């Protein structure tokens, strides 16, 4: 009888030991799988890049391409006659080009084709404060957005801007509403619209003038400095004055006006002497000033916030495309 009981106890012990070993193996295997999953997720997060990170890996120091902005820290700009900066947006294949990777890692892009040509500001649209003189009341006002106290670059015109320009209202209402694809990638952003000194000889000072007025919007226009920075020929084309003096040379080394024909291209930058003229870029290259009530080309500018890498190489026949998140 005692032998039978002893055998039963031994058998029970063996079963219990086997159960413990089995449970230990299950726990060990489960932990290993859990740890592997954590490691894979960590590695994936480490390897994951934003579009801004991806583009900044392609910075160049010569020839066409993406350059570190020498005047604004942690900003990168596309420079040259034809860098690889084409991007598909709103279903428009290679229909946009990247201007810059901004300090906040948004990507500033410009539509290559003009929307329907438009006035910058309708005649008599704004008549008080900065815009009150009879000349401006007839020809339209040259300021992009409303402001409590706007100053011309030369200091001769100061005052209230009662409302937004015609072009700003159209872009942020009708045009913005027309965007259907990847609209959620657009980030509202500051657009600098300070007036600039006519034929300025110092780009850093011109940028400081632009930044004296800012407006948050979904859609804007290029700043004059965007055009000047896009030129590879720094010796001949890096300032307002130089670009005007060397227009035939400068048009060969800036992608921003490549293949654009037609009327003057509106910038967001008001002329710094008058209240009725806006600084414009000429198709094919060069800078001019244009009455605000004239009809000019409208090339929308938006900022994209992209948490995923871009597909493609940026060439016209292989543009960057936004990957599905």
Kind and range of the H or E run holding 55: helix 51-56
Same-domain check for residues 87 and 225: yes
Q: How many domains does the chain have?
A: 2
165: which 2 tokens? 């320009």
Using DSSP, state whether 174 is helix, strand or coil.
Answer: helix
Three-point CA angle 12, 17, 21, nearest 5°: 150
Same-domain check for residues 121 and 225: yes
Length of the chain: 325
More reliable by pLDDT, 57 or 323: 57
Partnered with residue 216 across adjacent β-strands are 190
What are the residues whose beta carbons fall under 8 Å from the beta carbon of 289, sequence distance 6 or more? 198, 271, 274, 277, 278, 279, 280
Average per-residue pLDDT for the chain: 89
Assign 137 a pLDDT band (cuts: 50, 70, 90): confident
Whether residue 298 contacts residue 117, with contact meaning beta carbons closer than 8 Å, is answered with yes
Question: Which residue carries 């800078």 as its tokens?
Answer: 287
Per-residue pLDDT, 218: 98
Same-domain check for residues 37 and 82: no
- Please check the confidence at residue 178 and state whether its pLDDT lies above 50: yes
Same-domain check for residues 141 and 285: yes
24: which 2 tokens? 């230990």
Domain with 3 in it: 1-47
Question: pLDDT, tens digit, for every residue of 209-243?
Answer: 999 999 999 999 999 999 999 999 999 999 999 99
Same-domain check for residues 40 and 146: no
> Strand ranges (DSSP E) for 178-239?
189-192, 214-217
What is the rounded average pLDDT of the residues 130-154? 89
Same-domain check for residues 157 and 64: yes
Per-residue pLDDT, 290: 94
Per-residue pLDDT, 228: 98
16: which 2 tokens? 């219990």
Assign 3 a pLDDT band (cuts: 50, 70, 90): very low
Same-domain check for residues 218 and 87: yes
What is the rounded average pLDDT of the residues 271-288? 93
What is the rounded average pLDDT of the residues 167-180? 98
Same-domain check for residues 2 and 43: yes
């Amino acid at each position: 009888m005692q032998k039978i009981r002893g055998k039963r106890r031994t058998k029970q012990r063996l079963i219990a030991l086997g159960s413990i070993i089995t449970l230990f193996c299950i726990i060990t295997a489960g932990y290993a799988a859990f740890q592997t999953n954590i490691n894979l997720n960590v590695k994936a997060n480490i390897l994951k890049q934003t579009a801004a990170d991806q583009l900044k890996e392609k910075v160049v120091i010569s020839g066409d391409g993406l350059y570190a902005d020498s005047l604004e820290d942690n900003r990168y700009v596309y420079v040259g006659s034809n860098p690889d900066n084409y991007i598909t947006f709103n279903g428009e294949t290679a229909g946009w080009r990247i201007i810059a990777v901004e300090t906040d890692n948004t990507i500033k892009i410009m539509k290559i084709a003009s929307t329907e040509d438009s006035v910058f500001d309708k005649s008599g649209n704004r008549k008080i404060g900065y815009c009150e003189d009879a000349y401006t009341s007839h020809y339209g006002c040259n300021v992009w957005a409303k402001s409590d106290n706007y100053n011309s670059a030369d200091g001769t015109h100061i005052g209230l801007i009662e409302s937004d320009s015609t072009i700003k209202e159209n872009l942020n209402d009708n045009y913005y509403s027309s965007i259907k694809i990847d609209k959620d990638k657009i980030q509202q952003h500051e657009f600098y619209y300070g007036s600039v000194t006519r034929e300025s000889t110092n780009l850093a000072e011109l940028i400081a003038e632009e930044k004296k007025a800012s407006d948050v919007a979904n859609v804007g226009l290029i700043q004059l400095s965007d055009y000047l920075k896009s030129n590879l020929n720094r010796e001949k084309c890096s300032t307002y004055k130089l670009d005007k003096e060397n227009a035939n040379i400068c048009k060969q080394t800036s992608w921003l006006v490549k293949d654009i024909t037609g009327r003057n291209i509106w910038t967001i930058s008001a002329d710094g002497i008058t209240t009725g003229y806006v600084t414009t870029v000429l198709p094919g290259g060069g800078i001019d000033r244009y009455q605000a009530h004239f009809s000019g080309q409208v090339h929308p500018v938006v900022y994209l916030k992209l948490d995923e890498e871009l597909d493609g190489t940026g060439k016209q026949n292989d543009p960057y495309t936004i990957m599905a998140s």
